[in-house]
Amino acid sequence: MAMATARTAVCVLVVWALVAAGLGSVSARAPLGRKPQREFDYFALSLQWPGTICASTRHCCTTNGCCRSEPLQWFTIHGLWPDYDDGTWPSCCRRTQFEMNKILPLKDILDKYWPSLYCSSSSTCFSGKGPFWAHEWEKHGTCSAPVVQDELQYFTIALDLYFKYNVTEMLSSGGIQISNGKEYALSDVIDTIKHAFGGSPQIVCKKGSVEELRLCFDKELKPRDCLTTSLTNGSVSKTKHCPQYITLPKYDPLVLANSTGEIMKQFDDFEVSAAIYTA
């Protein structure tokens, strides 16, 4: 129900953002002094599995989605990435800074479905450090022209694709449930997504558990196959390869909450910096 409401809100915003920005054909411009990067070939919507990533969390802060009392039991967004068909990708294409106030109407939805799963702030293209969303917009969003022209449009399109192609639901309808210990054949997971989505996903693992799942789209935002070769040509290291049988583990935030001292210290630190940030 909450998901349906969120989806409706995002759809309205997508239409609005598309109309506001227009769908002209402006190619990605390079930051001053750099050669322009050519137009991308397709998008990868990269999703993270909190059950796997959060298992490595050692300390907490309010910005880390792993630290919430209610566990994240769905794939969350990592980013919408413009990619090339040769397995490489453009990055940091325009000198434009992330501005939180441009996406304020999306804030609650982003918090829920696009949280950072780490405490450290992320690197940005030109201004050092910032929130996870700033990193994704500056590194990938600015290279998404001519399909995406501005920050609001970048986030609304990513959210719209995320809600339209709900991977968590696709897997559970195909009998692949979140569960500690239960192993699924990698080929079954891929086939389940292929069948429900209409394109072959890319799956990244960490010690045999799903860490990321990527769905790919052409420039008209229609499903297409992801590259499988990029797994071998350097974008994903050997340790990220998936074995024949993989797991989709649950995680329990209470386990984290029990390692208290460090957590409270991190919360205090965050409250101080958050106050400065919002002042």
Q: Give catalytic residues, as residue numbers.
A: 78, 136, 140
Q: Which is nearer to ligand U2P, 121 or 235 (CB)?
A: 235
Q: Which is nearer to ligand U2P, 169 or 225 (CB)?
A: 225
Contact 64, 117 (CB under 8 A): yes
Q: Given the DSSP bridges, would you call strands 223-224 and 245-248 parallel, antiparallel or unpaired?
A: unpaired
Applying CB under 6 A, the residues found at the interface with ligand U2P are 44, 79, 81, 83, 89, 139, 235-236
Sequence-distant (6+) residues with CB within 8 A of 274 are 62
Q: Which is nearer to ligand U2P, 158 or 236 (CB)?
A: 236
Q: How far apart are CA 216 and CA 37, in angstroms?
A: 21
Task: Give me the least distance between CB of 153 and ligand U2P, in Å please.
Answer: 18
Q: Using a CB cutoff of 8 Å and minimum separation of 24, what contacts does 201-204 make?
A: 201/167, 201/226, 202/44, 202/226, 202/227, 202/228, 202/230, 202/231, 203/242, 203/246, 204/231, 204/236, 204/240, 204/242
Q: Which is nearer to ligand U2P, 49 or 81 (CB)?
A: 81
Task: Give me the least distance between CB of 145 and ligand U2P, in Å please.
Answer: 16
Task: Give me the least distance between CB of 83 and ligand U2P, in Å please.
Answer: 5
Task: Give me the least distance between CB of 57 and ligand U2P, in Å please.
Answer: 17
